[in-house]
Amino acid sequence: MAVVAIVAYFIYTTNHITMFKQIQKEIIPLITMKFAREGISECSSIQCSYSTQCTTKNETCCAYILKHFLVFLDGFFRRHNLTYVIIYGTLLGAVRDHTIIPWTHDIDVGYFNSTYLHSNEIRSELYENGYHLFEALGMSRLCVRKNNSIKNWLTTQIVHRKPPTVMGDLSAYIDLYTAAKSATNPISNISVYTILANNNFLTPISFERMAEIDGQTFPTVDNVHEHLVYNYGNRYMTEIR
């Protein structure tokens, strides 16, 4: 039965390879052009620490900012019926340490319904909440916007200096990876998606699998172990990354 399921799965997904390539060829360039004029220079400069001793409870740490980033995004997406999953380094931290990795610069999210996310309505609401949605290096990202007067947890971290000009200037942000549905497994009836990145990765997502960060759960991919092995190797639970 297992062999039949595997064969059926690969037959089904193979038929959609052409569709993946078409998505990469047509959708990603459109998103890139749309946000080319509104880039990283609209982000704030944030001062925070990447010390290995940092935690999500210390306000001077980047992990503290990133945790608040993720909590905000989770609530925002839920209010707008947008779906997402945590992936890559954010998932690694959740599985290995049940928290945000202290030395990471970003939150990694696979998101769906890119048309609505990039609508003027959503962009305006994000701006009103103190965030800026922009495009850099071929993908969408979210940062704290400059000239931010909103009185919340961000206030003490924003420093008044020259705006960032390259991604290396940003201390904390969210990477938004487009997830495209590619097939439905005929055995499990679970949809299979491609996370569009440098190393496109097929992954089943039922939106029922959760990962814990600081006692709060966030949606993630179904094949957590395979996802982490594929991206970080078999020793992902012990190697420091």
Contact 27, 114 (CB under 8 A): yes
Residue 6: what residue type?
I
Query: Residue 241 domain-assigned?
Result: no
Query: Residue 238 domain-assigned?
Result: no
Flag whether the pTM goes above 0.75: yes
Residues in contact with 130: Cβ distance below 8 Å, sequence separation at least 6, in sequence order: 144, 145, 148, 150, 152, 154
Total of domains in the chain:
1
What pLDDT shows up at residue 40?
Answer: 86
Question: Any idea what the Cα angle at residue 141 is, between residues 140 and 147, rounded to 5°?
Answer: 130
Mean pLDDT by 10 residues, the chain (241 residues): 41 44 42 49 86 92 93 95 94 96 95 86 91 89 81 56 78 91 82 80 90 97 93 86 60
Provide the sign of the torsion angle of the four alpha carbons 45, 51, 55, 60, taken in this order: negative
Domain range for residue 167? 2-232
Query: Residue 39 domain-assigned?
Result: yes
What pLDDT shows up at residue 77?
Answer: 95
Residues in contact with 2: Cβ distance below 8 Å, sequence separation at least 6, in sequence order: none
Query: Residue 225 domain-assigned?
Result: yes
Distance from C-alpha of 70 to C-alpha of 30, rounded to nearest angstrom: 26
Query: Residue 237 domain-assigned?
Result: no
Residue 88 in tokens: 């890559």
